[in-house]
Amino acid sequence: NAGVTQTPKFQVLKTGQSMTLQCAQDMNHEYMSWYRQDPGMGLRLIHYSVGAGITDQGEVPNGYNVSRSTTEDFPLRLLSAAPSQTSVYFCASSRDRVTEAFFGQGTRLTVV
Amino acid sequence: GEDVEQSLFLSVREGDSSVINCTYTDSSSTYLYWYKQEPGAGLQLLTYIFSNMDMKQDQRLTVLLNKKDKHLSLRIADTQTGDSAIYFCAGVSGGYNKLIFGAGTRLAVHP
């Protein structure tokens, strides 16, 4: 069982570039989320999904898009990268809203 | 919605007990969680407590919940160097399908 897989692990972008962070889970979980982690600020929720075809905004959604066409995949798109988006991004999945969330290993993104 | 606060840093001597504290605002949080993050890794669930409980013990870990004060604590007995990590308190935001995290407490264990 791979759990939650994120790719890439590291990425450097230039300001204005776009890219997609990939997240896949093989646990048949309905709930998936994207968080960003910044020093002293913990994890902040960007977007989440409660099932295929359903997404919603979290605390800090601006500059990011998501889609959920399958149960397994939940990609995060940066439309036009900005230095303020330099962060570590984590994808998580869970069976429902109150059970254990499983996290990927993270993607460290630097925007220059 | 939920707001979760933690102190940012705790330093303890190996073999002592560690107590990490957390306060939250949403009294409707059904579950409250403690996650652990080791360097360069994602978060892993350490333990959780259901809102109708006051205490939960799991080997070296003891979770205390004071619902009146909206205060949650994690006690680690006989702290070891392998316990050095960042510990996050989290709650489910009432009415929303969101897990809200505190800023994390960095636990440093020294000999």
Question: What is the per-residue pLDDT across B26-81, written as a single tens digit (0 to 9) for each?
Answer: 777 778 999 999 988 889 999 999 888 899 999 999 999 998 899 999 999 999 99
- From the CA atom positions of chain B, what is the Rg in Å? 13
Averaged pLDDT for residues B87-111: 84
A58-74: per-residue pLDDT in tens?
Answer: 889 999 999 999 999 99
- Mean pLDDT, to the nearest integer, of B100-110? 93
Mutate to test the interface with B, among A54, A97, A99 (most CBs of B within 10 A): A97
Q: Select from A40, A1, A4, A7 the least CA-distant residue to A109.
A: A7
Please give the pLDDT value at position B11. 97
Q: Given an 8 Å threshold on Cβ–Cβ distance, is A106 in contact with B88? A: no
Res. B94: pLDDT tops 80? no
- The SS3 assignment for B82 reads helix
Look at residue B86 and tell me whether its pLDDT is greater than 60: yes
Read off the DSSP letter of residue B74: E
Q: Among B92, B101, B104, whose Cβ lies nearest the Cβ of A97?
A: B92
Q: Is the pLDDT of residue B97 over 70?
A: no
What backbone phi and psi angles, to 5 degrees, belong to A83? -55, -30
Residues of B in Cβ contact (< 8 Å) with A42: 4, 6, 88, 101-104
Gap between the Cα atoms of B31 and B47, Å rounded: 10
pLDDT at A91: 96
Of the candidates B22, B9, B27, B11, the residue with the CA atom closest to the CA atom of residue B74:
B22
Question: Which of B48, B88, B97 faces A43 most closely, judged by CB atoms?
Answer: B88
Q: Are A21 and A32 in contact (CB under 8 A)?
A: no
In chain A, which stretches have pLDDT less than 50? none
**Residue with token string 């399958």:** A70
Mean pLDDT of chain B: 89
